[in-house]
Structure 1
Amino acid sequence: MAEIHGPGGPPPHIPDDLTVAQFMLDVDHESRPVRPEAQANPWMIEDATGRAIRFAEVRERTHGMANALYSRWKLVCIYSPNHVDYAIAVWAVHRLGAIITAANPAYLVGELEYQMSITKAKLLIIHPWSLAVGLEAARAAGLPADRIVLFDALYDAAPTLGSYPTISQLVAEGLAKPTCFYERRLRPGEGKTKLAFLSFSSGTTGKPKAVCIPHYGPIANVVQMTHLANLQTLPWDERKWRPGDVCLGVLPFFHIYGLVVIMHFQMFCGTTLVVIPKFNFVDILKSIERYHINQLPVVPPMVVLLCKHPAVKQHDLSSVRAVMSGAAPLSAELIHQLSQVLPKIHIGQGYGTRMTETCTTVSFPQIEQRICTPGSAGRLVPGIVARVVKPDGSLAGLNEPGQLVVKGPAMALRYMNNDDATRETFVDGWVYTGDEVTINESAELFELLKVRGFQVAPAELEGHLLDHPDVSDVCVVGVPDDYSGELPLAFVVPSAPALERMKKDSAEAGRVKASIKKHVTDVKVHYKRLAGGVEFIDVIPKNPSGKLLRRVLRDRAKEMKAQGLLTDADKAKL
């Protein structure tokens, strides 16, 4: 197998002279489904209040915000959970030709300050829930107080929000005066190079890296997914995607899955997005029932909850027609369990929804199947070309394992200010994903396992752990987990003083492990914590050049898990 192409023919024309905002709000692309009743169904619903936001309001608020911001800043950082004005903020910034970098709202001060500093963000948009951390990070990054804007608070807001302007105040200001900005139309081809997003990806090594995504990338991926959805030949009532559907919008918009697949693809396809800022599973069940939600874009931990949480039986989920899982592999066992709980739904998986470098979707659920091929991460989408590369550099055949290497119209350009990592990942238009896969005769992708959809860079954790006084050497690997996909596990060579203490007191080993885990928990976002545990080891295996033999320890961790020897792992909480 030299190369395999996503079936379904080439996608329709992908405009290369539009910004993301112009594509979403201003043009009628040939692939765009017609919304029911001439766009009468809302684009978004605010979960907490039931407020419906229709196309005219989305467009007007985008214009107002752009008009208020027109002369101020060229790179904007958003640090917020999901909000109905999140998309409006993104598109307003794009109207101005500026760039968005979206930060994880769970970041602690140091992590947010790092993102703001390396991107040189000039404006920070913060949700009131995140205000304290955002302000401290802004001060650390040298951002003046007049460069801070707040999303509007609904409930649970911080007691004191200060005098910072809100999105609604900016929108009102912008709509009250004549248009002050000139929205330049891109030259033909310019959309392929003009940056829209600096989205962060851990990749496989080092600290999080800023991925340079041009406007053409998300536009192309939306066209690819929409073209595939338009190929459905099932009866209307049995189709996975239909204009007029209602979609769950709880997966975070800062993540590439939420940003492209949910915030852009779903609304482009005529779906109403119920925007939920905070994950609470029981509240989500209530929202599904209240708004008659049809589409559930999820990650494996949510599937576990749907299968096992006792509250599921207390709510009417009959409106749900399709579940699409992404960001981490979903086991065949979980698919079977979910089909027993919700026997009438479509279930499928996609790949690329954790892959910032591919600007999201590489494969999508098979449109002709109600329950997609067990273990499959979907079928390659039209426009994708894939290779599976063996360790010796040769190309694997069908059903043979190797590293997935892909190219297509949506690929990111490079990492910002990181030539070495760029050369490793982006090679002559191909993206080296670092994931082991097989591809079968039907162009279906099978992954061989990242924590809740987030790539965790072992080297980042290892560098931090080496600062702990009881750690002499360390290697971090992923241990498979049904709930999270993988969990970080640290193999640690204890320092000489720690070994001495442990010899004198058998209980000291537990205290040292707890201290090492706390060392990470205190400064890292939740998915980077050592939920897989800490295991002591005499020596970290390395090759002659000093490179960690991570695969050796990964295999050892799998064996220990199978034998029930990973006693330090955290228990999943439903």
Structure 2
Amino acid sequence: MARKVTEFVSSRGALPDIPDDITLPQFILDSWHPTRPVSTKGNPMFIDDVTGRAVHLPEVHARTFGLANEMKSRWNVGNDQVVCIFASNHVDYPIAVWAVHRLGGIVTTANPNYTAEELVYQLQLTGACAVISHSGSIEVAEQACRNSGIPPDRLSVLDCPQGYAGTFPTIEDLVQAGISKHPQFVECRLAKGEGKAKIALLSFSSGTTGRPKAVAVPHYAVLANVVQMALHGRANAMDGASDQYQPGQVVLAVVPFYHIYGIIVLMHFYTFLGFTLVVMPRFTLEGMLASIQRHKINHIMVAPPMVVLLAKNPLVRAYDLTSVTLCMSGGAPLSAELTRQYCARLPHSAIGQAYGMTETATALTFPRIDMHVSTPGSGGQLLPGNRCRIVKADGTLATYNEPGELYVTGPTVTLGYYKNEEATRETFVHLDGTSARWVRTGDEVMFNERCEIFVTDRIKEIMKVRGFQVAPAELEGHLLKHPDVDDACVVGVPDEYSGELPLAFIVPSHDANERMKESSSEAEKVKRAIMKHVEDHKVYYKRLAGGVYFVDSIPKNPSGKLLRRFLRDTAKEIKTQESTKARL
């Protein structure tokens, strides 16, 4: 009789040594590792999709030095100081990240679509001392810096659009000024073991509840994840077992670098492999298709909404996508049916999913390399070095094909939530009294006998909208500031393109109820005002695209906790009824 397995590990075996005394740029740009494939192609590291500009390794070295040199000279950026990058993708984005790390600083990345209010929250929580903004977001950045007490001379612009004549220096200005000077800094050097505690990134996650939290990601965790992915993909050229991840290929960098998926998997893993990253500043379907055809892209890293378009939009048929050999989807679950539709449209492309979290320095699983189309519904195969347990509702441990809440430990577990000990204790836990720190994911999953993960439900309250985390509590707190709202509950409703959409159940105030009684059109006015209240203060994917529905009361348990699952079911029924009426 087979042994009952209650802890899941990869069959790939133990990880090789992972250096714990070097920073990310030292690992990616300056050093060697046995899992790294040997590249003899001489291909550029980055290509700007807009201009076609190619950037090779020597230029990356020079620009990283120049920017670090000027940031030290002009801003005195040093050990553990935080620099915020508030920008869309750009070929100098990695330069900015690695320049801060050369100085021993910390990078926090922010969504360039944030409102000033959202950016102020991030700048104040992280204590950022300088901001590098995209030109299209400069007005928001300027306002946020002013409200956060960051001097205007510590704001710069990442890109340099044609005709730009702004008052803030560009990265190009800083690079050229830094290259022209003698070294103004001594590069950060880590002692043995220091990489496990030295923060590289403050990446934002909603955790399981509440406002976004800054996850403290150490250098070692990112290095470990890169090694895990390389080992799983058998990337070393001397291995000869797989050509999927061999150097000299081209990957489309359209997933945003400010997202943990983009900054670790794309920016670090793919440069480690020796791929060329074609950098797109923002996603449009036509732009992506043209880029794939123009640059003969081999790998595309996407989120489920992009797969929907690739599988269903007729525009896809007008482009030659035969160069694509792998599509990897992450950020939210991808259905088996959508996978099938993608394969019908692009039969030459392998497709699979990865599953991960900001709290685990991204990927815990990766697509199988021995399958052209990964197991339908699977979120990928467990990466080597991770250990997982699944805790069932009764507190016992699940075995194969039994669902429960996922707990994970391994070399990529991060340091916790920055300046938030309470939230850290809730998510980063010790099991069985051991010293190992386990991340309580809040996801209900199960593993099959091949250690492939299947996400079956979300125990935590977080919604996934276009691959981005949205915390209902954040929106509810904001809604309660509106004078027409007495109580609120936000849930996610399924949507084929976005995955989920936020929908709000609202208990109107007494005054709002009286107005609605007097006029039949007032209810629609109140709904629009509530939706605009969110639109004016929150990034686009947090808007109430699922709608606003008035109720007499929000159901709660005796302790006052929202019965969110009940309202989620109610929301699904409402949407089903609306869809049925629309078809009649």
* TM-score, normalised with respect to structure 2: 0.93
Q: Structure 1 pair 68/546, CA: closer, same or farther in 2 (3 Å)?
A: same
Contact 1:81 1:277 in 2 (8 A): yes
Alignment partner of 1:437 is 2:441: no
Is 544-553 or 41-50 further displaced after alignment? Answer: 544-553
Q: Distance in 2 between matches of 1:239 and 1:370?
A: 13
State the alpha-carbon separation in 2 of the partners of residues 161 and 141 from structure 1. Answer: 21
Which one is further off, 550-559 or 359-368?
550-559
Matching residue of 1:138: 145
Kept after mapping to 2: 8 A contact 1:232/1:367: no
Q: How many residues align?
A: 560
Distance 1:131 1:219 in 2: 32
2:31 is aligned with what amino acid?
V
Q: Distance in 2 between matches of 1:416 and 1:542?
A: 31
For residues 276-287 of structure 1, the aligned pairs below 5 Å read: 276-287=280-291
> Quick check: 43-52 or 396-405, which moved more?
396-405
* Paired residues of 1:560 and 1:566 also in contact (CA < 8 A): no
Name the aligned partner's letter for residue 472 of structure 2.
P
Q: 1:470–1:495: 8 Å Cα contact kept in structure 2? A: yes
Aligned in 2, Cα 1:563/1:438: closer, same or farther, shift over 3 Å? farther
The equivalent of 2:396 in structure 1 is 394
Amino acid at match of 2:15: P
Residue 296 of structure 2 corresponds to residue 292 of structure 1: yes
Q: Partner of 1:507 in structure 2? A: 521
SS class of match (2:118): helix
Aligned-pair CA distance for 1:276? 0.6
Q: Distance in 1 between matches of 2:525 and 2:379?
A: 41
Could you say what secondary structure the match of 2:525 adopts?
helix
- Work out the CA distance in 1 between the residues paired with 2:505 and 2:271: 44
Give deviations 1:320-353, integer Å, cap 9, x for gaps: 111000001111111011001001110000001x
- The answer as to whether partners of 1:246 and 1:274 remain within 8 angstroms in 2 is yes
1:488-537 deviation digits (Å, cap 9, x = unpaired): 11111222222233333333322222221111111100111111111222
Does structure 1 conserve the Cα–Cα contact (< 8 Å) formed by 2:36 and 2:236?
Answer: no
1:572 matched residue in structure 2:
none
Q: Is the contact between residue 35 and residue 235 of structure 2 (CA under 8 Å) also seen in structure 1?
A: no
Q: Say yes or no: does 1:112 pair with 2:119.
A: yes
The match for 2:327 is 323
Aligned partners of 2:255, 2:55: CA distance in 1, in Å? 19
User: Match for 2:161 among 142, 154, 162?
Assistant: 154
The answer to whether 1:365 aligns with 2:367 is yes
Question: Which residue type is aligned with residue 170 of structure 2?
Answer: T
Match of residue 212 from structure 2: 208
1:553 aligns with 2:567: yes
Q: Does 1:33 align with 2:5?
A: no
Q: Report the equivalent of 1:8.
A: 12
Q: Distance in 2 between matches of 1:377 and 1:101?
A: 28
Whether the aligned pair in 2 keeps the contact of 1:4 and 1:386 (CA below 8 Å) is yes
- Mapped to 2, the partners of 1:237 and 1:564 lie a distance apart of 52
| Cross-structure match for 1:84 | 91
Q: How far apart in 1 are the matches of 2:221 and 2:139? A: 34
Preserved CA contact (<8 Å) 1:386 1:404: yes
Alpha-carbon distance in 2 for matches of 1:48, 1:371:
32
Report the residue type matching 1:126 in the other structure.
S
1:538 is aligned to 2:552: yes
> Closer, same or farther in 2 for the Cα pair 1:400/1:271, shift >3 Å?
same
Q: Distance in 2 between matches of 1:253 and 1:410?
A: 19
Q: Deviations over 1:55-96 (max 9, x none)?
A: 111111111111222251221011110010100110011001
Q: Which moved more, 1:251-260 or 1:553-562?
A: 553-562
| Contact 1:84-1:275 within 8 A present in 2 as well | yes
Distance in 2 (alpha carbons) for counterparts of 1:498 and 1:239: 63
Give the drift of 1:566: 9.8
- Cα distance, 1:231 vs. partner? 6.6
One of 415, 435, 446 as aligned partner of 2:417: 415
> Percent sequence identity over matched residues?
56
TM superposition shift of 1:129: 1.3
Q: Which amino acid aligns with 2:91?
A: V
Aligned CA RMSD, in angstroms, stands at 1.9
Q: 1:83 to 1:99 in 2, by over 3 A?
A: same
Note the C-alpha offset of 1:202: 1.3
Q: Give 1:481's match in structure 2, choosing from 484, 491, 495.
A: 495
Q: Counterparts of 1:101-250 in structure 2 under 5 Å?
A: 101-155=108-162, 160-162=165-167, 164-230=168-234, 239-250=243-254
User: Quick check: 2:34–2:236 contact (8 Å CA) kept in 1?
Assistant: no
Render the CA deviation track for 1:115-140: whole Å, top value 9, x for unaligned. Answer: 11111111111111111111111101
What letter corresponds to residue 336 of structure 2 in structure 1?
A
The residue number in structure 2 matching 1:571 is none
2:82 matched residue in structure 1: 75
| Cα offset, 1:232, TM superposition | 9.4
Compared with structure 1, are the counterparts of its residues 146 and 232 closer, same or farther at alpha carbon in structure 2 (3 Å cutoff)? closer
Quote the offset at 1:461 in angstroms: 0.2
C-alpha displacement at 1:478, in angstroms?
Answer: 1.3
8 Å contact from structure 2 (residues 301, 329) kept in 1: yes
Measure the CA separation in 2 of the matches of 1:377 and 1:310.
27
Q: Which residue does 2:530 correspond to in 1?
A: 516
Residue 565 of structure 1 and its aligned partner are, at CA, apart by 6.2
What is the TM-score when the length of structure 1 is the normalising length?
0.94
Per-residue displacement from partner, 1:520-563 (whole Å, max 9, x unpaired)? 11110011111111122222111111111112212222333334
Flag structure 1 segments of 5+ consecutive residues without an equivalent. Answer: 569-574
SS in 1 for 2:195: helix
1:461-500 superposed matches below 5 A: 461-500=475-514
